[in-house]
A and B are shown apart, each in its own frame.
Chain A
Amino acid sequence: MKHFFLLLASLLVTTIIFAQTGSIRGTVTVKGKPLEFGTAALKNTQFGTTTDEKGVFEIKNVKYGSYQLVISAIGYRTITKAVTISEAKFFQELTLQTDELENSLAEVVVTGTMKEVSKLDSPVPVEIYTPVFFKRNPVPNLFESLQNINGIRPQLNCNVCNTGDIHINGLEGPYTMIMIDGMPIVSGLSTVYGLSGIPSALIERVEVVKGPASTLYGSEAVGGLINVITKKPSSAPLVSADVMGTSWAEFNADLGLKYKLGEKIQSLFGLNYFNFQRPTDKNGDGFTDITLQNRISLFNKFSIDRKDNRVFTLGGRYVYEDRWGGQTQWTPKYRGSNEIYAESINTKRWEVIGAYQLPMKEKITFQFSANGHLQDSYYGTTPYQAQQYIGFGQFTWDKKLKERHDLLVGTALRYTFYDDNTPATDADGKNAPSKVLLPGLFVQDEITLTTNHKLLLGARYDYNSIHGSIFTPRLNYKWTSTDKKNVLRASVGNGYRVANVFTEDHAALTGARKVEFTEELKPERSWNGNLNYVRKFFLGNGGYVGLDATAFYTFFNNRIIPDYLTDPNKIIYSNLSGNAVSRGLSLNIDVSLANGLKFMTGATAMDVFQREDDGSGTLVKQTQLLTEKFTGVWSVSYTFPQIGLSVDYTGNLYGPMKLPVLGPLDPRPEYSPWWSLQNIQLGKKFNNGLEIYGGVKNLLNFTPTPDAIARAFDPFDKQVTFDATGQVVPTPNNPYALTFDPSYVYAPNQGIRFFAGIRYNLFK
């Protein structure tokens, strides 16, 4: 009844006012052409309508008065115009042009009609794939973050200098290709630096391909690819900062910026600074437990807008690092002396990468990469001064043929200059820098057999100016189930790599052992096969379970493996007379439940060994040193949505690995124990973009045995007695006949520590 009266009342009012209303009619055009589906509305009223095919709108029955007429359409800047409807001007005829483009949607203009739905509770969080994943155990750089991924392991190569290397399924760093936004950083020296300097706030995701991925990236990329995809200008924060410190006095700061250079150039800038300057010796061996470091890396990337949406991106990075580890009383004045032992490494590295699509109809892209790496170092009294410059360019031509074939043809040229002060670049007593030219040709065809089956055939031919022709075929197969929940991938590939002992193996430099080459090293050749199965389950209540199982097998015809065991005072490098195998299985389980609980776990079991001729023609199997047979990784995360508090529990478990012991009297065990690193983190997010976090790392306080460095008290072997053949003689002060040796390393020497940090992200 009440409603009836109201209705009647409003009818009456309308009738009375009817005489005092007018109309507004207009045409909306874009560059002279009528715009359909534009909205015309009078602000703060309920009058509104849309334009028709001719761009015409008409708002009738508008009460006399002054209004703000607002014209809006998706993709265009809103026009606001004052209009007055009065007795004298009861009809308005307008022509409006809205050719200015808008990169976000216009404000809502008609009052009372718009209701916010964006604040609806999302049952499942947004996909922010890796930054969230990596933040569960915050570390100074992406290199260390990778320890959270099953099958990828950052390995410490050196007890004193703590330099590392990335292993994918048991294959070392040089087999891994690092890319930024699909642009390869072609570099033999220290892939590790390829992952530094990009703050996690600027990373959209990290793609990891385990196994031989594509012929595109050269014959060396059999281990896998790590592709760091940076955020798009549309999703990167304008400013981001992340500052963290630990109870060990480690300090890390990340800064990210997004900026525009003019209208056409979008840029991302990242800065990372890491500092650890407190010599700490908790295990009492007289050596620093963790290498002292001072590192700054700068990264900048430009994306240049071009007509016809062609690619033009350019990136650059500069890394400066000064690190030393050794006897705690060391100072720079002892650098290279035989009084106090330390390994002091000073690194400067620059990189330029880019991609440019040629302005022609066919899709031809030019990719380039150039980098310089300068290392000035002393390992005890042994100096190592190295310079490496690499220039790389490649043209790829993408061509779709008959819907089913995606053909890619390319040609690449790589130039490597390497010089150091070791015998590696020495010819007849004169310095002879190594200069290698590596032109190559490749062709790849991605064949879509059916919607479920895809085949990728590739072949690559390179000509190494020293080692000659290299032919590497690859084959990949992918099956996707119709519902896209099952994916099976199989790949077979041939790998080829020229080992550079000094640049890749820091152990070769630790002054403690003499490096010996028994012959000219030949390139390593390998065959690699991978089988991978991915299964996704989407639970009815919004949960998700992902399974990822991989089997891998690599067979090496030749492999350059340092021999630590034949002579405890030497590292002997030679070609393998026999073969080597790296094989294993890995399984990842990824669970995220509707209630916000996330659980991720992975395990890899692998067997890495070589079969070597014992001299009589029989092949003897030997387990590879410093490689464990089992690794496990897990993370459990839960967010309390009401208070914005998150809890992360992360951990790693490592099985025993065979270690280089010094002769039969060495009291140190031949195998490392099972060991585990576990961490807990609490984090809280605030609405203003601020986030604080803190927790405990290495909860179990695990550290390796304090006698890991043999005879740490006598690093220059001054009190060691050698016999006529150069072998150590047991003496009262050296009952086990050892020499100083830091190569027995399996875990970081850093016990339990607390950390706290603060992050800030400003979006605009």
Chain B
Amino acid sequence: MKKHVWIALFGLFGLLAVESQAQTLRWTSFEHLTDSLRKERRPVLVFIHTDWCTYCKMMELRTFSDQQVVTKLQEKFYCVRLNAEDNQPITFLQRAYKFKPTGVKTGVHELAQVLGTENGKLSYPTTVFFDQYLQLQGRVVGALDAKSLKQVIESGIVLNHLAPER
């Protein structure tokens, strides 16, 4: 009897597991970001997440897999994904950012802290927008759905037209 329950249970999950694969975003790394910016100035989106945060996963699987979002971001932005609990040091604009452990296998990356802290606190997920001159334009704390992210991209608020081009 129990065996049948299990077979039925897994059968059910198996069926549900079949779902179409959406095109996913190509992410840039901080190491390559400055090279890319030298080549072509573009606004930058930084997605701060952790492995254990469900809404982060939801953004990766839903928002950043949305066909229109992917196309728009790929065209106009550089997108960087930053795992706030990754223990690899990152050097960005000549400053070395380290992972600061607060226990065994837990801690926070300094770069996530610098970029994502909003009102004295860092929450996950946080999406940070910079203009093409790396000036902070704003943060969205919490999950962003595809529709809202499209609004942000289309509003052009992250394109700074006022600083004269060099």
Cβ proximity bits B14-49 to A, threshold 8 Å, 1 near / 0 not: 001101010000000000001001100000000000
A183 touches B163 (CB 8 A): no
B103 touches A183 (CB 8 A): yes
B120 touches A764 (CB 8 A): yes
Given A126-B143, A182-B105: A75 in contact with B92 (beta carbons within 8 A) = yes
- Report B-chain residues with C-beta under 8 Å of the C-beta of A541: 145
B13 touches A123 (CB 8 A): no
B101 touches A310 (CB 8 A): yes
What distance in Å separates the Cβ of A32 from its nearest Cβ neighbour in chain B? 11
B121 touches A763 (CB 8 A): yes
Residue A50 is within 8 A (CB to CB) of chain B in the complex? yes
A544 touches B54 (CB 8 A): yes
Residue A35 is within 8 A (CB to CB) of chain B in the complex? yes
Given A120-B148, A483-B21: A126 in contact with B133 (beta carbons within 8 A) = no
**27 A-B Cβ contacts within 8 A?**
A38-B93, A39-B133, A75-B97, A105-B114, A113-B163, A118-B118, A118-B139, A126-B141, A127-B53, A129-B52, A129-B53, A181-B106, A183-B104, A229-B103, A232-B102, A232-B122, A234-B112, A266-B102, A301-B102, A309-B99, A311-B101, A313-B103, A483-B61, A533-B9, A536-B54, A594-B145, A763-B121
Given A74-B115, A183-B104, A484-B57: A110 in contact with B135 (beta carbons within 8 A) = yes
- Report A-chain residues with C-beta under 8 Å of the C-beta of B108: 232-235
- Report A-chain residues with C-beta under 8 Å of the C-beta of B38: 53
- Report A-chain residues with C-beta under 8 Å of the C-beta of B123: 126-128, 235
Residue A102 is within 8 A (CB to CB) of chain B in the complex? yes
Q: Is the interface of A mostly helix, strand, loop or mixed?
A: loop
Contacting residue for A551 out of B6, B19, B141, CB 8 A? B6
Question: Interface stretch among A41-49, A82-90, A459-467?
Answer: A41-49
A103 touches B145 (CB 8 A): no
Report the bound CA distance from A533 to B135 in whole Å. Answer: 44
Report the bound CA distance from A414 to B97 in whole Å. Answer: 37
- Report A-chain residues with C-beta under 8 Å of the C-beta of B70: none
Other A-B pairs, 19, CB within 8 Å; known A39-B133, A114-B136: A37-B37, A48-B163, A72-B135, A75-B92, A110-B160, A110-B162, A120-B144, A122-B140, A123-B142, A127-B53, A128-B123, A129-B52, A129-B54, A205-B52, A233-B108, A234-B122, A309-B98, A311-B101, A367-B104
Report the bound CA distance from A484 to B143 in whole Å. Answer: 18
Given A125-B142, A127-B124: A50 in contact with B163 (beta carbons within 8 A) = yes
The 5 closest A-B pairs by CB, nearest first: A181-B103, A182-B104, A117-B138, A122-B142, A763-B120
Q: Show the binding face of A for B, using Cβ within 8 Å.
A: 30-31, 33, 35-39, 41, 46-50, 52-53, 60, 72-76, 101-106, 108-110, 112-118, 120-129, 180-183, 205, 207, 229-230, 232-238, 266, 301, 303, 305, 308-313, 355, 357, 365, 367, 481, 483-486, 533, 535-538, 540-542, 544, 546-547, 549, 551, 585, 594, 763-764
- Report A-chain residues with C-beta under 8 Å of the C-beta of B61: 483-485, 536, 538
Report the bound CA distance from A124 to B54 in whole Å. Answer: 11
- Report B-chain residues with C-beta under 8 Å of the C-beta of A182: 103-106
Residue B100 is within 8 A (CB to CB) of chain A in the complex? yes
Given A49-B163, A309-B89, A483-B19: A355 in contact with B121 (beta carbons within 8 A) = no
- Report B-chain residues with C-beta under 8 Å of the C-beta of A105: 114-115, 117, 136
What distance in Å separates the Cβ of B132 from its nearest Cβ neighbour in chain A? 9
A113 touches B21 (CB 8 A): no
Report the bound CA distance from A181 to B53 in whole Å. Answer: 17
- Report B-chain residues with C-beta under 8 Å of the C-beta of A230: 102-103
Report the bound CA distance from A533 to B5 in whole Å. Answer: 14
Contacting residue for B133 out of A37, A106, A116, A303, CB 8 A? A37
A102 touches B114 (CB 8 A): yes
What distance in Å separates the Cβ of A560 from its nearest Cβ neighbour in chain B? 28
Contacting residue for A234 out of B55, B113, B129, CB 8 A? B113
B94 touches A30 (CB 8 A): yes
Report the bound CA distance from A113 to B138 in whole Å. Answer: 12
Q: Which residue of A lies closest to B157 (CB)?
A: A115
What distance in Å separates the Cβ of B119 from its nearest Cβ neighbour in chain A? 6
A124 touches B143 (CB 8 A): yes
- Report B-chain residues with C-beta under 8 Å of the C-beta of A50: 133-134, 163, 166
- Report B-chain residues with C-beta under 8 Å of the C-beta of A311: 101, 103-104, 107
B124 touches A126 (CB 8 A): yes
A309 touches B129 (CB 8 A): no
- Report A-chain residues with C-beta under 8 Å of the C-beta of B122: 232, 234-235
Report the bound CA distance from A74 to B128 in whole Å. Answer: 13
Report the bound CA distance from A181 to B56 in whole Å. Answer: 22
Q: Which residue of A lies closest to B135 (CB)?
A: A39
Given A117-B129, A303-B102: A49 in contact with B114 (beta carbons within 8 A) = no
- Report B-chain residues with C-beta under 8 Å of the C-beta of A41: 163
- Report A-chain residues with C-beta under 8 Å of the C-beta of B55: 124-127, 544
Report the bound CA distance from A121 to B9 in whole Å. Answer: 38
What distance in Å separates the Cβ of A98 from its nearest Cβ neighbour in chain B? 10
Q: Which residue of B lies closest to A547 (CB)?
A: B13
Report the bound CA distance from A109 to B163 in whole Å. Answer: 11
B140 touches A117 (CB 8 A): yes
- Report A-chain residues with C-beta under 8 Å of the C-beta of B139: 117-118
B13 touches A486 (CB 8 A): yes
- Report B-chain residues with C-beta under 8 Å of the C-beta of A355: 103-104
A486 touches B52 (CB 8 A): no
Given A127-B55, A230-B103: A36 in contact with B34 (beta carbons within 8 A) = yes
Contacting residue for A37 out of B34, B118, B145, CB 8 A? B34
What distance in Å separates the Cβ of A240 from its nearest Cβ neighbour in chain B? 11
- Report A-chain residues with C-beta under 8 Å of the C-beta of B21: 483
